[in-house]
Structure 1
């Protein structure tokens, strides 16, 4: 999310016209020191983006809890209730392929505000008592399709508003908020529903999206679109996805974003049966779900505050290589306390993302960053859904601990293959993307 200011953000440069020689192109081109999270908040524009993100992530979590309760109250169907969660993930792949072209062909602030307004309208429709469940699911799918476009556009905007190491730390802060929402958001959402009906809680979500849109509109710079060529949106989006995936280096980095989380989600998909088998009930289930995000938050905070940028890059591949090994340790059928520790250790490896952020944005041409980040977000969520579903399916005939261990082993082997591709493509032999300047 972003907003507009007539003055350049503190610590950055005034926005330059697209294609101008002095336009900033990559993070990391500035000073190579650890600037710290405090320096990120010194950038006025980012403060608005961060506040808008906090609002929207709280609204999203509250909406998900409210919709699950609402659908179950009105239908009494566990299958329809699970469809609420599925529809927050399944439309991502379609959106990444069909809508990603919008991110670079329209001004970022306009896209971000429009995404928030469309999301608010969808949730407002869900909150109406006259809305049947079928239409509610349609509205939820539409809102979910908006998310990858929003995330990609915001990510590309951060490159322009945060220079040097500030971009890496800004992206880290956005992820920390998202992970924190997983730790406390669902519990807070449940408490809210003690006082509010599900539809009333959805009205609160409408307010959070409108508040986010307002913050983005008044607090971010009105930058021009990164690309101005015309053409069919669908064709542009599909073509750009093909261009990005055909580039060996970019494809390898995308796989590095996608593969580990797909196997992380296997553990989340069978957390409920694991907790039940351990006799821990809903409390144990909640602790299992919170352990990995908690480790992630600690990991990113430590890497962002204690390590210099070169050190973050040096640890990226080793951490990615071992990140799934704690899940493989589930083969010993750990008790609940040890299982929580193992999941937290998996989260503690998440600092590899800071190095990945720098490599990815350096590799992708400036005029394609919005589409690239939209595609990364779409693939990330889609494959997490695949991993969660696959884990649940296998757990129908195998013990939950064995499913998690198998995911850890298979995931580690898969990550090793991706790491080889990432190392091999460090040498710039692939050249520029087709259709872009060399």
Structure 2
């Protein structure tokens, strides 16, 4: 545990997190890198469309942001623990800056543009996983870590609300290639902040100290496996309304304004829920409500079966987003369950799986809507999601009791050894 967290109160609050200088550097770098990613996605999509006039290829640039996550998360996950964290974070930012810089070169072909987009997506889970593991080094593995993770998620959701708007405005003033050039600066600024604002720490896993558990071994631990599924599977269902926002807005006749509101409602609810749980609830309370919220978070989707109008639909999405505050409790359980020496690869696996299942969920949402209609697809996702979440909550209870039983046995064995030693 870092020195900064010693003696922290039971409920730290967001202000205590910002009091840690290293976290401020990580937070500022996260804001810059998120804006860089979002603006580059918009600018690249527009650039590809300008070059090809193909809606399919333009949309493909967004899809490529999801698909390579699985590759990067499995093949590159060991990097997060084999190398010092600061070196990994700075290196990832520099790779992203280099890839985007190549996109700005006049005459760059479509194939190379899409390949560079894939490279960004392959690097992304390593960066995210290493940064999450670094938070535990900076803030400790207690309440400050949970609040720090929450703040980074809030930034990510807020960036979706602000970043796309800023990106669109930026493209009205400059060309797509110039917009991409600006994002090179954001990645370089992020790398500089991480290099100068965080201290050097040795790699968690050193070569020659034995083979650390890989993804299969991590997933083989029942407690870790259940917690990973609790992060992944609800996310696969929660993205369904977002994936179908355009056809749903068309059905409602709400136009582009309605589409924008539908895209914003879920992130707004998520930010509100996280802020309330982080600022108003202590760590024990957040853990107590984690499983009930998990089971209830997708329940509002069932309201789509009642054919709600725009206002009611927005309310349902905000409520569902607020329910995702259960992740604060999951963060605490996950960091406890994973050994420190493999925390980087575990977090990388978590990040990669999360993005991959969201991409799969969006694709399946389109297939379902094509077959049964948008409203039925969203309501069906709600039914399936609630059942899945309830099953995961039950499994989490079982693994928690098994974990507590294992700890009690260890304590008794340790006490017996001490008595024998005497």
For this structure pair, what is the TM-score category when the shorter chain's length is used for normalisation?
A: over 0.9
Q: Distance in 1 between matches of 2:278 and 2:243?
A: 30
Deviation at 1:32, TM superposition (A): 5.7
**Residue 199 of structure 1: aligned partner:** 177
CA offsets per residue over residues 387-429 of structure 1, 9 Å max, x none?
1111112222322111111111111111111111111100245
Instruction: Give the 3-state SS of the residue equivalent to 1:427 in structure 2.
Output: helix
Q: Distance in 1 between matches of 2:383 and 2:402?
A: 31
Q: Say if 1:10 and 1:43, in contact at 8 Å, map to a contact too.
A: no
- How is 1:106-255 mapped onto 2 (pairs within 5 angstroms)? 106-163=83-140, 164-230=142-208, 240-255=214-229
**Residue 3 of structure 1: aligned partner:** none
Q: Say if 2:5 and 2:144, in contact at 8 Å, map to a contact too.
A: no
- How is 1:40-55 mapped onto 2 (pairs within 5 angstroms)? 40-55=17-32
Q: Distance in 2 between matches of 1:395 and 1:217?
A: 46
User: Given the alignment of the two structures, is residue 361 of structure 1 paired with residue 335 of structure 2, yes or no?
Assistant: yes
**Residue 284 of structure 1: aligned partner:** 258
Q: Distance in 2 between matches of 1:209 and 1:107?
A: 19
Q: Distance in 2 between matches of 1:256 and 1:354?
A: 12
Q: Distance in 1 between matches of 2:139 and 2:267?
A: 25
Q: Unpaired segments of 5 or more residues in structure 1?
A: 1-7, 14-29, 433-437
Deviation at 1:129, TM superposition (A): 1.4
**Residue 98 of structure 1: aligned partner:** 75
User: Given the alignment of the two structures, is residue 408 of structure 1 paired with residue 401 of structure 2, yes or no?
Assistant: no
Q: Distance in 2 between matches of 1:230 and 1:61?
A: 40
**Residue 411 of structure 2: aligned partner:** none
Q: Distance in 1 between matches of 2:41 and 2:325?
A: 28
**Residue 399 of structure 2: aligned partner:** 425
Deviation at 1:95, TM superposition (A): 1.0
CA offsets per residue over residues 328-359 of structure 1, 9 Å max, x none?
11111111111111011000101111110000
**Residue 265 of structure 1: aligned partner:** 239
Between the two proteins, the alignment pairs up a number of residues equal to 406
Deviation at 1:229, TM superposition (A): 2.3
Deviation at 1:10, TM superposition (A): 7.5
User: Given the alignment of the two structures, is residue 377 of structure 1 paired with residue 351 of structure 2, yes or no?
Assistant: yes
Q: Distance in 2 between matches of 1:431 and 1:102?
A: 31
Query: TM-score normalised to the size of structure 2?
Result: 0.93
Moved segments of 4+, more than 4 Å? 429-432
User: Given the alignment of the two structures, is residue 331 of structure 1 paired with residue 308 of structure 2, yes or no?
Assistant: no
CA offsets per residue over residues 359-379 of structure 1, 9 Å max, x none?
000010000110000000000
Distance 1:231 1:36, change over 3 A: closer
Distance 1:114 1:231, change over 3 A: farther
Query: TM-score normalised to the size of structure 1?
Result: 0.90
Q: Distance in 1 between matches of 2:146 and 2:165?
A: 30
Q: Say if 2:66 and 2:356, in contact at 8 Å, map to a contact too.
A: yes
**Residue 27 of structure 1: aligned partner:** none
- Computed over aligned residues only, the root mean square deviation of the Cα atoms, in angstroms, reads 1.9
Instruction: Give the 3-state SS of the residue equivalent to 1:397 in structure 2.
Output: helix
Which of residues 321, 324, 327 is equivalent to 1:347?
Answer: 321
**Residue 36 of structure 1: aligned partner:** 13
CA offsets per residue over residues 236-293 of structure 1, 9 Å max, x none?
79x6100111110000000000011100111111111000111112211111111000
- Decide which structure has greater helix share: 2
Q: Distance in 2 between matches of 1:122 and 1:248?
A: 39
User: Given the alignment of the two structures, is residue 293 of structure 1 paired with residue 271 of structure 2, yes or no?
Assistant: no
Distance 1:321 1:32, change over 3 A: farther
